[in-house]
């Protein structure tokens, strides 16, 4: 069989794939886009869009239950219709995926192939009965939930972040194994839907990449909503108990028994079944594709973007990967991965916005630093909204004034963090933030005040 020739092949239609196809096609290239499941990848189908839609429903239920706090009287108890919540979530996802599919279908220079792509050589890919070749191949194959081989795990009907999206019944008791970002979003939203929720984490604290004060505040927020949290759990195992599931942990502690178990124990890249060895593409010990600062793999003419390259685990890092590749290939703009600043959010309520270095990382660096902090109980906007959990913290270099990092855990934290992130990209000193006039009343208006009150980090 002779291979069909293209100018470029893009494998995976997640956050980086379709926009890159659009740029390449607009530049006059004939492009093949290969997707084995859903257009839009994790974000559109099982990640950001559906989960944040459900988070919004959970917030509405939570606020309704607090109506009396705001002087609002309801005629009866607040109920949750999980079928309607799921239908709303499905519509948001299906609309987004449909819009992407229509956009791709309108590209005259793009051929969409549905199926599993595997390399046969460094410039040739097979999809079912089709053989495709191109001098440029871009990988955007994403990742999936990790399922460690824990005792009894394969004897129970566990859920992952993906299969949670298909759940059509509200768990009576959801046991979440894992205490990081995905797990905590699900824990809080299902508690607000009415499920009993237990979180079991093997590490000494939740969200281990955050500073200890941030982790402690997050745990307090969850426990204030009657979510049971167990940290430092070892010897985690699973067993059926009638129609329920028992999760054992930490000798001497009673097992958690629930109706459903969600495993949220990290992610692994979708690279093990691409035939990368036939192309000569190197991967690291965890299966991530090794790339340089411009996202080129070990093989000339092959690039890797998004979760499969291990250089970021978020939708925004995947999209930024596309921007870096397109800038270098099409715009003569030498953008690099190392130019970007780490930034992300945790979408519990209130949300956490994070950018740059943590306090722990600054201390390890040995540099002289300043820190400023303010609890949400001293932020007017948070008080007015009746949402005073959390705090803000800013770190700066004591010698140069360089802004090193920021955490905003509180109402609008996922938006307010950009006040600091953008200044960091502009390489503006902390004095710029201190002199800025922000709008009142707002959570972010206190960031300049914090910048004026920095003290030595000890």
Strand residue runs (E) in 164-227: 173-177, 196-200
Contact 169, 176 (CB under 8 A): no
For the chain, the residue count is: 458
Q: Has 440 been annotated as catalytic?
A: yes
Residue by residue, DSSP assigns 249-261 as -STTSPPEEESEE
**Distance set, CA 238 to CA 93, 172, 264 (Å):** 32, 18, 15
Distance CA 407, CA 403 (A): 12
Give the largest CA-CA distance in the chain: 73
Distance CA 14, CA 166 (A): 20
Q: Tokens 């081989």 — which residue?
A: 149
Distance CA 205, CA 221 (A): 14
Distance CA 277, CA 127 (A): 17
- Catalytic choice (62, 230, 286, 440): 440
**Distance set, CA 216 to CA 204, 313, 323, 363 (Å):** 11, 24, 36, 19
For residue 129, the 8-state DSSP code is T
**Distance set, CA 278 to CA 125, 216, 291, 317, 427 (Å):** 10, 48, 17, 28, 44
Nearest to 19 by CA among 37, 5, 40: 40
Nearest to 87 by CA among 42, 43, 44, 57: 57
Chain centroid to Cα 222, Å, comes to: 19
Residues serving a catalytic function are 440
């Amino acid at each position: 069989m002779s291979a069909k020739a293209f100018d470029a092949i893009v494998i995976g239609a997640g956050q980086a794939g379709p926009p890159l196809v659009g740029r390449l096609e607009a530049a006059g290239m004939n492009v093949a886009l290969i997707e084995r499941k859903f257009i839009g990848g994790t974000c559109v189908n099982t990640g950001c869009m559906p989960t944040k839609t459900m988070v919004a429903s959970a917030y509405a239920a939570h606020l309704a239950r607090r109506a009396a706090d705001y002087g609002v009287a309801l005629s009866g108890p607040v109920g949750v219709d999980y079928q309607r919540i799921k239908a709303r979530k499905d519509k948001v996802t299906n609309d987004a995926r449909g819009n992407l599919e229509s956009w791709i279908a309108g590209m005259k220079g793009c051929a969409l192939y549905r199926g599993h792509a595997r390399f046969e050589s460094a410039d040739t890919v097979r999809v079912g009965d089709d053989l495709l070749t191109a001098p440029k191949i871009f990988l955007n194959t994403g990742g999936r939930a990790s399922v460690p081989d824990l005792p009894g795990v394969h004897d129970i009907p566990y859920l992952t972040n993906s299969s949670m999206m298909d759940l059509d019944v509200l768990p009576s008791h959801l046991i979440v194994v894992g205490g990081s970002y995905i797990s905590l979003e699900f824990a809080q939203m299902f508690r607000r839907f009415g499920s009993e929720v237990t979180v079991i984490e093997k590490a000494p604290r939740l969200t281990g990449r955050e500073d200890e004060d941030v982790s402690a505040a997050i745990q307090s927020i969850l426990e204030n909503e009657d979510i049971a949290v167990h940290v430092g759990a070892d010897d985690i195992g699973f067993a059926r108990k009638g129609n329920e599931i028992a999760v054992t942990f930490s000798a001497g502690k009673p097992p958690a028994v629930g109706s459903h178990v969600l495993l949220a124990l990290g992610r692994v890249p979708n690279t093990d079944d691409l035939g990368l060895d036939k192309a000569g593409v190197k991967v690291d010990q965890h299966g991530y594709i090794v790339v340089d600062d411009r996202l080129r793999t070990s093989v000339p003419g092959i690039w890797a973007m998004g979760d499969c390259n291990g250089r970021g685990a978020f939708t925004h890092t995947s999209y930024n990967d596309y921007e870096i590749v397109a800038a270098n290939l099409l715009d003569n703009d030498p953008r690099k991965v190392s130019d970007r600043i780490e930034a992300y959010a945790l979408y519990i309520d209130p949300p956490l916005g994070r950018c740059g270095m943590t306090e722990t990382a600054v201390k390890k660096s040995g540099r002289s630093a300043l820190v400023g902090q303010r609890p949400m109980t001293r932020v007017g906007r948070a008080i007015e909204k009746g949402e005073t959990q959390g705090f803000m913290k800013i770190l700066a270099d004591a010698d140069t004034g360089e802004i090193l990092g920021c955490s905003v855990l509180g109402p609008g934290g996922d938006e307010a963090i950009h006040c600091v992130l953008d200044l960091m990209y502009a390489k503006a000193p902390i004095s710029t933030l201190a002199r800025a006039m922000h709008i009142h009343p707002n959570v972010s208006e206190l960031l300049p005040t914090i910048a004026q009150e920095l003290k030595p980090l000890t």
